[in-house]
Structure 1
Amino acid sequence: MKNVAIIHEWLATYAGSERVVEQMLREYPDSDLYAVADILPAEERKFLRGKVPTTTFIQKLPFLRKFLRHYLPLMPMAVEQWDLSGYDVVLSSNHAVAKGVICGPDQLHVSYVHTPIRYAWDFQAQYLRESNLSWGIRSMLTRSMLHYVRLWDKLSSSRVDAYIANSHFIARRIQKCYGRTATVIHPPVDVDAFAPRFDKEDYYIAASRLVPYKRVDLIVEAFRQMPHRKLVVVGDGPMFKSLQANCPANVELLGYVPHDRMSKLMQGAKAFVFAAEEDFGITPVEAQACATPVIAYGRGGSLETVVEGVTGCFFEEQSSRSIVAAVDAFEREYRHYDLAATRRHAEGFRPERFRQELGDFIAKEWSKFDASRRHKTIQSNPNTHPRSILSADQRPVIIDDQIGMTVS
């Protein structure tokens, strides 16, 4: 294995998938980086390690920063235009279109999948509902576009030689959507950026972008029903004003806060409350790195990052009633939690672990791929390497496929 290309969808912010790319670049420092578009702010570019990504024609489209995601229907064609023929290994970081790049038969394509395109597959109904697109002409146009994206997504899934999923939950979605198996390698989490604290204060914390599927509104409503308990909510987004307009006295909405303050709030909290069905969910791991237990919705990636009864507990429904019951249960069992064990569990998600598992997986896949390629090359040249079989009476027979003769 010599040359490696790393493919990412788009560079707009330093978030979960970009942290994966950061570790890919550390594991393969001589690799080249490709992205559909690059609008990453200057202050967030450090993780690229000085690399300037090769982009597509979408980079030149108007109002890119505002309408980037509106250009999604053009992205399948965009990623197919790159000439990647000079690379032995293509490693794609995929949550939309990156896995659809075109590779040759002598190139190994490994795709690390954060998720199949959520809003084109099993989250389509939720996406349309939350975007007010359930009915009307705009709904029909959007459904048609998503149908096209879904067809292309399924078709392009065959271009990948080996899949990696960021969780067992996503591995099951890959099997469902693409009919392919995937090896699970959990994403890297910078646990060292969150120091543990074992003397907790009497408040709970929720932290995420305030968008509908995170279900922070349910957490706020649950604490409205528990006025004797305090909740701190960290994060900004489209739902901030609506939450602020009807916020109970025992809930404090802080909006965006810098990392230092965020980590201090996480360290001091009695527990972190998480109501989303996430593909993996980095923030609950960061909370556990602070030795803060997690009360999470028992679906999706949370089942793989939280150990029930050891580092947190689960609630079964996305409802305020279910959250209240889980908080009450947590309060009853709180004295039995080993906060040091919570921190130790989080340390299992370190970036070093991710790089080791990723490097080992790709080395193994390349070894199998290269051996298969060489074997097929030998098989395609029978004049140089004639085939030996046994005849009906068990005498060895040499077959020369080029001239069609046998010699016993």
Structure 2
Amino acid sequence: MTPRIAIAHDYLTQRGGAERVVLALHRAFPEAPIHTTLYDPDLTYPEFRDAEVITSPLNRIGAFRRNHRAALPLLAAAASSIRIDADVVIASSSGWAHGFPTTGKRLVYCHTPARWLYLTDEYLGGGSDAGLKGAVLGALKPGLLRWDRKKAAEADAYLANSSIVKERIRKVYGIEADLLFPPHSVDITQESKPIGGLEHFIGDGGHYLVVSRLMPYKNVDQVIEAFKGLDERLLIVGNGPLLQTLRQQSPDNVRIVANLSDAELAWTYEHCTALIAASYEDFGLTPLEAGAHGKPTIALRAGGYLDSIVEGVNGVFFEEPTAASIRASVRSSGAIEWNQEFMVEYCNQFSEQNFGRRIKSHVQRLLNSVNKYDLRVGWRAD
């Protein structure tokens, strides 16, 4: 009998690296339903329309689908109400999916323990509304901490998506997680597509590129500041709470676009000089996407970028997420001669095929622990 596998994810209301991991899991387990608290097919990757997506009752409220952060006081209860009947649930989690109850085993693929609980100041950032958000979160935090740690302890196995997340899991949960880097899903054979209205700005290429959610800890504001006065163009691809604020701060040599198709995103990579990555990432996925297109990354020497970038092979580092440090690295990186063949070969080690083989191996290990099924019925785990 074929084992019953299910996939869980916090919410499918945005486009980012975590959602790309869920798509990779879906391709590895195409028959597995995806359980989540909130789902808006217009706000996330279109490939999810081909999957069976099962949501919590919160999904009936449109305001929550448009802004999942507004649902924070209700998400623990919503997560606890999602009951999954499966032999193994693979929970792609940064705060909620690791708490979905199941009748079988639970394998948590952790992008990070919840930022709003364990990295609160970084998550909130500054700004006029940070104080109000902090007050609300402060009132909820004791109960959420109890819920979060209890659910983490109930998991049967934990996987960390980067070295820094592995250490964070050990620190906050006391769990020794195995390390499994996420895949890049770049298909270089896919035909790219220009972004309408940007042909004049992009020209023949040569722009610098940022691909990021527009959140305070992503430091996109500092990249924009770095390009003020530079004789270079910067294209930012992303969406998030700071979209309008960052657009207002942008000089004439900076453009921000949101909700691109994969073909349009490929076009931005293909024509750029380099990617700039200034955020504190749990894993540095975008440098692998850039490298698969033969383009280097100028990155903050911190967090997950230390896992995905080999200096001199697919990128260089700057030391501080400040405009001055970023500007200096942009100016100096132009003198480097990159070996695109080495770059592409390195980045392809993080392929979706390798990721799929390893995740299947971890699932098989859990199935073996209950002597229930062999995943090699219908497909191979090795």
User: Alpha-carbon deviation of 1:294?
Assistant: 0.4
Hey, what does 1:341 align to over in structure 2? 342
Match of 1:170 among 144, 165, 168: 165
Distance 1:319 1:42 in 2: 31
Give aligned pairs, total. Answer: 359
Distance 1:196 1:12 in 2: 26
Hey, what does 1:64 align to over in structure 2? 64
User: Alpha-carbon deviation of 1:94?
Assistant: 0.9
Query: Secondary structure at the residue paired with 1:10?
Result: coil
Identity %: 28
User: Against the structure 1 CA distance between its residues 61 and 209, is the aligned structure 2 distance closer, same or farther, given a 3 Å change threshold?
Assistant: closer
Match of 1:292 among 295, 305, 309: 295
Query: Please, what is the CA RMSD of the aligned residues?
Result: 2.9
Hey, what does 1:116 align to over in structure 2? 113
TM-score by length of 2: 0.83
Distance 1:306 1:8 in 2: 27
User: Against the structure 1 CA distance between its residues 109 and 234, is the aligned structure 2 distance closer, same or farther, given a 3 Å change threshold?
Assistant: closer
Hey, what does 1:126 align to over in structure 2? 122
Hey, what does 1:395 align to over in structure 2? none
Hey, what does 1:327 align to over in structure 2? 330
Please give the residue correspondences for 1:6-405 in structure 2 after superposition, counting only pairs within 5 Å. Answer: 6-41=7-42, 44-47=45-48, 49-53=50-54, 55-61=55-61, 63-84=63-84, 86-103=85-102, 107-122=104-119, 124-130=120-126, 132=128, 135=131, 139-193=134-188, 202-225=206-229, 227-249=230-252, 251-256=253-258, 257-332=260-335, 334-335=336-337, 337-367=338-368, 369-370=369-370
Query: Secondary structure at the residue paired with 1:37?
Result: coil
Distance 2:81 2:236 in 1: 44
Distance 1:263 1:168 in 2: 28
Counterpart residue identity of residue 162, structure 1:
A
Q: Is the 8 A contact 2:224 2:254 kept in 1?
A: no
User: Alpha-carbon deviation of 1:315?
Assistant: 0.8
Distance 1:115 1:73 in 2: 20
Distance 1:29 1:39 in 2: 20
Distance 2:26 2:14 in 1: 16
Distance 2:44 2:129 in 1: 36
Q: Is the 8 A contact 1:196 1:343 kept in 2?
A: no
Q: Is the 8 A contact 1:295 1:315 kept in 2?
A: yes
Q: Is the 8 A contact 1:73 1:149 kept in 2?
A: no
User: Alpha-carbon deviation of 1:248?
Assistant: 3.9
Q: Is the 8 A contact 1:103 1:159 kept in 2?
A: no
Counterpart residue identity of residue 165, structure 1:
A
User: Alpha-carbon deviation of 1:194?
Assistant: 7.2
Distance 1:115 1:82 in 2: 21
Q: Is the 8 A contact 2:276 2:298 kept in 1?
A: yes
Q: What are the Cα deviations for residues 98-119 of structure 1, in whole angstroms up to 9, with x where unaligned?
A: 1113345xx3211111111111
Q: Is the 8 A contact 1:120 1:147 kept in 2?
A: no
TM-score by length of 1: 0.78
Distance 1:219 1:139 in 2: 26
Counterpart residue identity of residue 94, structure 1:
S
Counterpart residue identity of residue 344, structure 1:
E
Query: Secondary structure at the residue paired with 2:3?
Result: coil
Counterpart residue identity of residue 282, structure 1:
L
Q: Is the 8 A contact 2:188 2:293 kept in 1?
A: no
Query: Secondary structure at the residue paired with 1:11?
Result: coil
Q: Is the 8 A contact 2:36 2:53 kept in 1?
A: no
Q: What are the Cα deviations for residues 263-322 of structure 1, in whole angstroms up to 9, with x where unaligned?
A: 233222221111111111332221111101100011111111111111111111111121
List alignment gaps of at least 5 residues for structure 1.
Answer: 373-408
User: Against the structure 1 CA distance between its residues 91 and 261, is the aligned structure 2 distance closer, same or farther, given a 3 Å change threshold?
Assistant: closer
Query: Secondary structure at the residue paired with 2:81?
Result: coil
Counterpart residue identity of residue 113, structure 1:
C
User: Against the structure 1 CA distance between its residues 268 and 310, is the aligned structure 2 distance closer, same or farther, given a 3 Å change threshold?
Assistant: same
User: Against the structure 1 CA distance between its residues 128 and 32, is the aligned structure 2 distance closer, same or farther, given a 3 Å change threshold?
Assistant: closer
User: Alpha-carbon deviation of 1:62?
Assistant: 6.3
Q: Which has the larger radius of gyration?
A: 1
User: Against the structure 1 CA distance between its residues 176 and 296, is the aligned structure 2 distance closer, same or farther, given a 3 Å change threshold?
Assistant: same
User: Alpha-carbon deviation of 1:349?
Assistant: 1.9
Query: Secondary structure at the residue paired with 2:364?
Result: helix
Distance 2:117 2:189 in 1: 35
Query: Secondary structure at the residue paired with 1:270?
Result: strand
User: Alpha-carbon deviation of 1:354?
Assistant: 1.1
List alignment gaps of at least 5 residues for structure 2.
Answer: 193-203, 373-382
Counterpart residue identity of residue 46, structure 1:
E
Counterpart residue identity of residue 69, structure 2:
R
Counterpart residue identity of residue 209, structure 1:
R
User: Against the structure 1 CA distance between its residues 230 and 313, is the aligned structure 2 distance closer, same or farther, given a 3 Å change threshold?
Assistant: same
Hey, what does 1:388 align to over in structure 2? none
Counterpart residue identity of residue 95, structure 1:
S
User: Against the structure 1 CA distance between its residues 206 and 3, is the aligned structure 2 distance closer, same or farther, given a 3 Å change threshold?
Assistant: closer
Hey, what does 2:195 align to over in structure 1? none
User: Against the structure 1 CA distance between its residues 238 and 6, is the aligned structure 2 distance closer, same or farther, given a 3 Å change threshold?
Assistant: closer
User: Against the structure 1 CA distance between its residues 341 and 66, is the aligned structure 2 distance closer, same or farther, given a 3 Å change threshold?
Assistant: same
